Amino acid sequence: MTALKTIDVFIGTRPEAIKLAPVVAALKRRSGFECRVVATGQHREMFQQVATELGFTPDIDLDTMQENQTLATLTARLMQRIDAWLEQGRPDFAIVQGDTTTVLVAALACFYRRIPVGHVEAGLRTGNVWAPFPEELNRRLASQMVSLHFAPTESARAALEREDIPSESIEVTGNTVVDALLMELDRQRERLIRDSLEVSLASLIGADWSSRPFVLITGHRRENFGEGFLQICQAVRMLAERYPELRFVYPVHLNPNVKAPVTRLLADVANVSLIPPQGYRNFVALMSRCKLVLTDSGGVQEEAPSLGKPVLVMRDTTERPEGVEAGTARLVGADADRIVQHVSRLLDDPTPTLPWPTLPIPTGMDTLPGVSSPGSNASWVARAAQLLTKRGLLWQTLRIPHEVAAQDGVAYVKGLVNFDRDRACPPRHKDGERPRRWSSGSASALGALRHLLGGAALLSEASIGRLKYLVVMAETEPG
């Protein structure tokens, strides 16, 4: 009998756990593999929180976390413990994700032992080794040591090829964060989970957390330590005073370089809610309900637009240029005046300058719960038509002028469904006006969907995948 091939998935932080959860689930469904989750302990508490929610537990815990350890100390401890595990566990293959210190050290330790590595989310680049620090250098170095590069976009592939990475070792996969998001949205359709979310967030923020409009804030980047966080906190304080009817919700990172200044400068502001770091379930619910997101995170730049939320990025560079090029995200830096200016512009303008995005969906999403269906493609279009009739919209990503002619409506829907991977913004109406939502009584809307229903068998897999995504999102969205 042929021995199972062993694949070790190394995870150190909360974002890695989120983005690798769909990969772990897919590997565990496949015969011929033994998948082991190796937790390095880089972010123990926050990692365990999301791992439990996403349905997996570590098989091996390397327990490297120490309070206030330097990057050099963390790197040394990771190398010692990962290498010791490789000696004991002897995997046939390893998988890493992103750009953390865990990624760099696991890739190097495996390279020393000639163990091939697959890198999920390969090829992201800002072009500046100091921003983000140390992530930009981590991922550049890792790319020289791994065997397979799973690039999320064509631009990531191009970045790898410019560094002379062999094209045959690169596969464009889309980003697994969208898979994870869809998995979680499907779970949140369950009544018990929805009720639990309401109770949990009400206890943290207030009974009116879902009815009072709020801005969601996240921040943790090392390059913003010090003056950067002082500027961010100053901006939040100014915005809270300018918009007293709004709430500003900030799940505060546990790193003392973040927690100390944020608590000192914002804890006394009445409409600022400083809450502990949230599990993935609560955080997705917060993103779903907020007006906009202020963040210095990389992953949130992908998650929030997938939920139809504009993102202001409190950094000067981004390794995710597609969102900025599409207009779904904007770089504002860690500068108080710029942050206030851009947030105010979005809050004051009833037709925001950032369009609601429609991000590409990775292949393989038919394996996801809530998206898999024994029915035909036509059944998904029928569900879309039913939602439109019932609620007057397909969700925020399908905002179509009700006055367009039926044939224009067909083209518009097809334009949304047949997305362009590298240009992720919805098309505008031919007169240049910003699209509005279709009304439920619109002949254009229903006619377009009936047309799609009749021709559903001719839709490409990418097209039907996009439609499935919109339907799942619409059915999950409250109201």
Complete DSSP assignment for 249-318: EEE--SSHHHHHHHHHHHTT-TTEEEEPPPPHHHHHHHHHH-SEEEE--STHHHHHHHTT--EEE-SS--
359: which residues sit within 8 A by CB, 6+ positions away?
A: 178, 302, 305, 306, 328, 424
Q: 92 catalytic, yes or no?
A: no
314: which residues sit within 8 A by CB, 6+ positions away?
A: 219, 224, 228, 232, 294, 295, 296, 332, 333, 334, 339
Cα Rg for the chain, rounded, in angstroms?
Answer: 22
**Rama region for 116: left / alpha / beta (φ>0; ψ in -120 to 50; rest):** beta
Q: How far apart are CA 30 and CA 431, in angstroms?
A: 50
DSSP conformation class of 457: G
Q: How far apart are CA 105 and CA 138, in angstroms?
A: 9
- Give the CB-side neighbour count of residue 426, counting CA atoms within 13 A: 29
Q: 121 catalytic, yes or no?
A: yes
Residue 215 has phi, psi (to 5 degrees) of -105, 135
Q: How far apart are CA 119 and CA 142, in angstroms?
A: 8
Of 8, 16, 99, 322, the active-site residue reads: 99
Of 119, 149, 187, 220, the active-site residue reads: 220
Of 14, 77, 157, 222, the active-site residue reads: 222
Q: 119 catalytic, yes or no?
A: no
Q: 329 and 305 in contact (C-beta within 8 Å)?
A: yes
Q: 23 and 46 in contact (C-beta within 8 Å)?
A: no
268: which residues sit within 8 A by CB, 6+ positions away?
A: none
Of 253, 289, 330, 383, the active-site residue reads: 253
Q: 253 catalytic, yes or no?
A: yes
* Coil vs helix vs strand at 36: strand
Q: Is the preceding omega at residue 374 within 30 degrees of 0, hence cis?
A: no
Of 53, 135, 319, 477, the active-site residue reads: 135
Q: 402 catalytic, yes or no?
A: no
Q: To the nearest 10°, the Cα dihedral for 243, 244, 247, 248?
A: 60
Q: 43 catalytic, yes or no?
A: no
Question: Mind telling me the catalytic residues?
Answer: 99, 121, 135, 220, 222, 253
